[in-house]
Structure 1
């Protein structure tokens, strides 16, 4: 899969190249202020698409955070698509300053995937989980438990990228996609899971433990 061992996600290359080219044109025309603004925009784009390495915990059964950001919801909800019962959900909000490369929360096989076009409400709002553009994947963990991970576009995000397809095997902590420019990830735990994170906590994708499967 893409972006496993490179410092900047490949999805950012077109934006970086465009802004860098316009910066160069303005600099050659001696348009100092526009050139400076475009240079800052180029550097921010490189920063936004950064793809740092992470130290993956080895704890058996641990569910890792798929995203950098802030936990904005932890609680029980009805999940109608797959579980069709009340399960625990954890929602993580990513601002434009967070790393936006998403990582697999657990090792396992992708059983199913879905994509909904949707709206573009602020990703921190509750209705974003239902109405925003989103892409989800149902993972069967090594112990047979099922976990649902949903990428949700935010207010200014317009592109969700998911690398694997149905049937692919994921390794816990590996990069599996990204969302451009502000977004959210919801994780639905199977019944009987232990949640070990709270609202307001900060998470690091591939390192922070959200809970554990039983």
Structure 2
């Protein structure tokens, strides 16, 4: 994986920041004080959303899995596939004020990477689950595999993914961006979950679990 955006602001957010700045300058030019103030607040929120902080990966034991996104753990449950095999399903909700940069959960080879363009409907809309833009990534293979699905909600920018199939990925490395969405991680049954519902997580830093 050659993607390595280390600038203080994520490059994938430059267009949104530029649009917010242009809007503020327009209102300032026509002396619309209220709208100038509101667009200034919007600009600050946009810059904050696209911040790209450096993250130091804590020294975890071997086979650790870290969070791929900033946000809050909404649910943790055990699921079964069509073959009757169990897995752990962890859902992370990321909002506008969470850092939008996505990071690799563990060092591995990417076995699948697919971006499906779609709508950006509110999660309360019945069709949002099937129509909204999403990105599916499978990190690793066999018993050491984490399946990730990023699903976009209301957002001004689409999901960015710089991973491709068979690319090598290093734990904690940046691989994309998502503003205001839901991330689902599927961990194999041989793993141990290390977070609880309601916990605040940070991409590349928070321990999600271990492969046993």
- TM-score of the superposed pair, with normalisation by structure 2: 0.87
The answer to whether the 8 A contact 1:157-1:183 is kept is no
Q: Is residue 32 from structure 1 mapped to residue 30 from structure 2 by the alignment? A: no
The answer to whether the 8 A contact 2:115-2:161 is kept is no
Superposed CA RMSD: 2.6
Question: CA distance change for structure 1 residues 155 and 113 in 2, over 3 Å: closer, same or farther?
Answer: same
Q: Is residue 19 from structure 1 mapped to residue 17 from structure 2 by the alignment? A: no
Equivalences for 1:39-78 in 2 at 5 Å? 39-59=40-60, 60-78=62-80
Question: CA distance change for structure 1 residues 158 and 4 in 2, over 3 Å: closer, same or farther?
Answer: closer
Distance 2:98 2:54 in 1: 14
Structure 1: unaligned runs, 5 residues or longer: none
**What do the CA deviations read for 1:64-122 (whole angstroms, capped 9, x no partner)?**
01111110111111346xx8732111110011111111111111001112334455555
The answer to whether the 8 A contact 1:123-1:184 is kept is no
Deviation at 1:149, TM superposition (A): 1.4
Bigger mean CA deviation after superposition, 171-180 or 20-29 = 20-29
The answer to whether the 8 A contact 2:45-2:97 is kept is no
- TM-score of the superposed pair, with normalisation by structure 1: 0.86
- Partner residue in 2 for 1:207: 205
Equivalences for 1:167-206 in 2 at 5 Å? 167-180=166-179, 182-206=180-204
Bigger mean CA deviation after superposition, 83-92 or 164-173 = 83-92
Deviation at 1:158, TM superposition (A): 5.7
Deviation at 1:47, TM superposition (A): 0.7
The answer to whether the 8 A contact 1:112-1:139 is kept is yes
Distance 1:164 1:6 in 2: 19
SS at match of 2:27: helix
SS at match of 1:36: helix
